[in-house]
Amino acid sequence: MMVREALNSALDEEMSADPKVLLMGEEVGEYQGAYKISKGLLEKYGPERVLDTPITEAGFTGIGVGAAFYGLKPIVEFMTFNFSMQAIDHIINSAAKTSYMSAGQISVPIVFRGPNGAAAGVGAQHSQCYASWYASCPGLKVLAPYSSEDARGLLKAAIRDPDPVVFLENELLYGESFPVSAEVLDSSFCLPIGKAKIEREGKDVTITAFSKMVGYALKAAEILAKDGISAEIINLRSIRPLDRPAINASVRKTNRLVTVEEGFPQHGVGAEICASIIEDSFGYLDAPVERITGADVPMPYAANLERMALPQVDDIVRAARRACYRSVPMAAAQSY
Amino acid sequence: MVLGRAFEDMCAQMYYRGKMFGFVHLYNGQEAVSTGFIKLLKKEDYVVSTYRDHVHALSKGVPARAVMSELFGKTTGCCRGQGGSMHMFSKEHNLLGGFAFIGEGIPVATGAAFTSKYKREVLKEGDSEDVTLAFFGDGTCNNGQFFECLNLAALWKLPIVFVVENNLWAIGMSHLRATSDPEIWKKGPAFGMPGVHVDGMDVLKVREVAKAAIGRARRGEGPTLVECETYRFRGHSLADPDELRDPAEKAHYAARDPIISLKKYIIEKSLASEAELKVIEKKIDEVVEDAVEFANESPLPPRSQLLENVFADPKGFGIGPDGRYRCEDPKFTEGTAHV
């Protein structure tokens, strides 16, 4: 099942189960979705529930949050999460903080979804990964699916969740197909928010990743296996709340950690994972935690520069090898 | 106009051959607006555009070679391959981009107009105001930033002309379905500036209106909102299959092609012969071919370029583990340091 179909079927089933669920965004209706995720929904549910909006992110996000205050369950689609910056005031201040400020009287059952991260050659303003930005904000839940199973289960969980959820998809994953079991296809299938998945078991090094990078990490694990390094790949699925127990348990087994993400390095998801592992499992680490992130530059346009600015499978392999072959060095003897 | 059309058609070809990638938005059909306005400007005047900016760049004087290289992602492009199709900047030609988010360029344009007024009144440089043109589409006219800037520009009498390229469609969203009052020129008087509607497929009519608006701004009388009714012959971008627009509508506007209309006018008024026009078209083809060849042969950006231009002061990358500024490490400037 393609990720695109998984998302479409999840939206379809949740909309038919609950008449309070509605979808709004740019080109979601007649155009069938900018990336065809909402294909067929306008025909099935009509223009009151599938709303084509003008290009007014701040406006329609604010309207969605207001609707959620009064009991509707809107799904706000951003054409990419880069555009959500025009509406970020409503996501953070109106949606995330309201339950706290009203002492629990008003909950905001809203989902913000859309593609996140880099696509191919789309330039600096269309390629940023927002996982760490949104994951740093209390009051928000942040999810990042990888496979079709993740996409279906996590989107359904997000729509049913009574809190604001930021759902970070990936444009390059939309066309990828994954095998799914009959359980996944059932309309009541739902994945728990806050639990990571061990995609591949291993015993030498733990590699955490989310979204597209899980695919790269799995490829890296194949290459490492030929060297006799058995890598355990954790698909985070949920960036906020982060599944710290799962990562800790894995690190206590393997004693080495590599975090992989597409976003900018400073204050990234990897930084958070590294800090929390050191807090919880410092004595178990045999090597410093390695971070593989995107380069610390706005995304360049030229194809070769773009490749250099994003993590590639080789980078993950290199970091995993470094984590495995080096023991804890004395500071003066450290070399890169 | 012919350069714009030939260039954009070549872009489409190059895209399908894989030389260009990402998002490419072509301007076919709207050339009258770009030519009608920008050709009246001085070099010091500013132009701010959207992602559909190739032809605005060409009209403002950026060489076709530089634009084509930029689109191919080569280091000889106007932004050294770092901006791309949607982000054309040229300090020399005062082209301030190239913005991907609609409505984002309008406040930038208003700021540029503010600067030119400030230069004249506070810094006492020069004796006539540099005009800014802000180009944007019909979809932008529902965006909050647009209204905020109309207000400020009229309030402070800024030398700016807001040019709406109303091509009736966002990607698949018709202007009529998105706007409460679809007549955009009416929004000008609501903010205290004249609002003018013009047929954007006729370059001579656009030029008349542009002359008046630019003259007004240059004399310090304040902003104007000009709505140009135009049409894009291709889809929103090269990835858009363009299935929602009615073929009858497309045919209606194709019959009003600005280049063909102007050609007819020139030949009827005997301003030039058909042979002379053919010579011009041939020359343009050569310019575009030359631009493609130049872009093809240009080198890709070197690895050391990845970290350049992030800051005006590269000390912004901070201090490395050896205690020195990262930018002073020779490996950093060669592009082989870890980032």
Residue of A57, A171, A262, A306 with catalytic role: A57
Handedness of CA B311, B316, B322, B328 (dihedral sign): positive
CB A75 within 8 A of CB A23: yes
What is the arithmetic mean of pLDDT over A304-315? 94
Strand-pairing partners, residue B196, are B226
Mutation to test the B interface, candidates A86, A301, A306, A322, most B Cβ within 10 Å: A301
Mutation to test the B interface, candidates A36, A90, A305, A334, most B Cβ within 10 Å: A305
Is B168 part of the contact surface with chain A (CB cutoff 8 Å)?
Answer: no
> What is the per-residue pLDDT for A70?
82
> Could you tell me what percent of chain A has a pLDDT over 90?
77
> What is the per-residue pLDDT for B96?
83
Is A70 part of the contact surface with chain B (CB cutoff 8 Å)?
Answer: no
Yes or no, beta carbons of A27 and B171 under 8 Å apart: yes
Indicate whether A285 pLDDT > 60: yes
Give me the interface pTM, i.e. the ipTM.
0.72
Which of A152 and B128 is assigned the larger pLDDT?
A152
Is A31 part of the contact surface with chain B (CB cutoff 8 Å)?
Answer: yes
From the list B168, B149, B173, the residue with the least C-alpha distance to B225 is B149
Mean residue pLDDT across chain B = 89
Is A99 part of the contact surface with chain B (CB cutoff 8 Å)?
Answer: no
Give contacts of B 54-73 with A, CB under 8 A. 70, 73
Burial class (CB within 10 angstroms; exposed 0-12, middle 13-18, buried 19+) of A1: middle
Yes or no, beta carbons of B82 and A59 under 8 Å apart: no
Catalytic residue check, A267: no
From the list A57, A94, A96, A100, the residue with the least C-alpha distance to A77 is A57
Q: What is the pLDDT of residues A189-212, one digit of tens each?
A: 999 998 999 999 999 999 999 999
CB B64 within 8 A of CB B287: yes
Rg from Cα positions in chain A: 20
Q: What is the pTM of this model?
A: 0.83
Tokens coding B294: 């130049």
Phi, psi of A69 (to 5 degrees): -60, -40
Alpha-carbon gap, residue B104 to A13, rounded angstroms? 37
> What is the per-residue pLDDT for A274?
95
Alpha-carbon gap, residue B85 to B89, rounded angstroms? 10
Indicate whether A307 pLDDT > 90: yes
- Asked if residue B98 has a cis previous peptide bond (ω within 30° of 0), the answer is yes
Closest residue in A to B70 (Cα–Cα):
A302
